[in-house]
Amino acid sequence: MTGLPPRKALNEDLPRLLKMTATERLPLCAIMIDIDHFKKFNDRWGHSIGDRVLGHVSSLIRNCARYRGEAYRYGGEEITVLLINFNTGEGLAAAERMVETVRSTPMSIPGNDPAIPVAARSRDGEPVRLEVRISAGVCSTRDVTGAELLVMADKALYEAKESGRDRAVGFTPGLNAEKRTSTISVRFQGKSPILDRNRLIIKAWFPIRLSGSSAAIADMEQIEAREIRFLESNVSEVIPEASPAGGLITLEIPGRVVSVENQGKYTFFEFDVREEVFEMIQTHRANWKSGGPY
């Protein structure tokens, strides 16, 4: 579908390239790329068009990387590019060219294409133009060890998403050290169609003490989400239920869904949040349990 080597090829090539570039004392650069708002293409136009969008972007990225390295399909709508003898700054310039190439090359589909939902087809058969954008994170072995290369490029990609998308961001030790993440467990009542490893904001409930009744609630080892919404839009889902026994404190928590599991009427998901947010949650829990300020 993409014309790119699969994740298996990346897993085979990366150790070989790391060994080769280390022997020759050359940097190896990784660019992690994600198609912005890819789920919206699937939701509005259908998965067939979504597949074409992925193929369109993959072709552009591979052409940009040609003669310099190789592009691989990392998974879902993510693409990884490996560039030999590129430091982070040079890789960032290459990634910015990729972002601009995708931005300036809209995808065109015949207006009467049967893959387009009937309601979205143009009556006069005029082509439908889809504007596609990507975000990219860049890192090289000049800055990190080989084992950290993809992880830190992915962290830089996270920064690109957080700072507005449609851009490339290079790994810098200071920036990324300040914005480490931790994973929390979240429960949401219902099977949410927007929980698909997206970057979301959840509105969570936390129990608070009532005089003489603090033992009415068990320790909260899981966060109970009552609302979830996309970071970049107003699309949301709300559970309109009464608060848990003992009252509530609400908190909006931004983060990224990393895994989802449906169990009966509940959805459980692991949620990556900023380290400082995680520490705040832990402090609140500790104070609530000990009777201290919260």
Q: What letters, b where the CB count within 10 A reaches 16 and e where it falls short, cover 38-72?
A: bbebbeebeeebbebbbebbbebbbebbeebbbbb
Spatial contact of 103 and 133, defined as CB atoms under 8 Å apart: yes
Angle at 275 between CA 269 and CA 278, to 5 degrees: 55
CA distance 237 to 227: 6
For the record, the structure tokens of 288 come out as: 């609530």
Phi then psi dihedrals of residue 268, to 5 deg:
-110, 135
For the record, the structure tokens of 227 come out as: 């609302």
For the record, the structure tokens of 218 come out as: 């068990």
Phi then psi dihedrals of residue 88, to 5 deg:
-65, -40
Return the sign of the alpha-carbon dihedral for residues 190, 194, 197, 198: negative
Q: How many CA atoms lie within 13 A of 49 on its CB side?
A: 27
Active site includes 77? yes
Which is catalytic among the residues 77, 159, 224, 227? 77
Q: What DSSP state is assigned to residue 92? A: H
Report the catalytic residues: 77
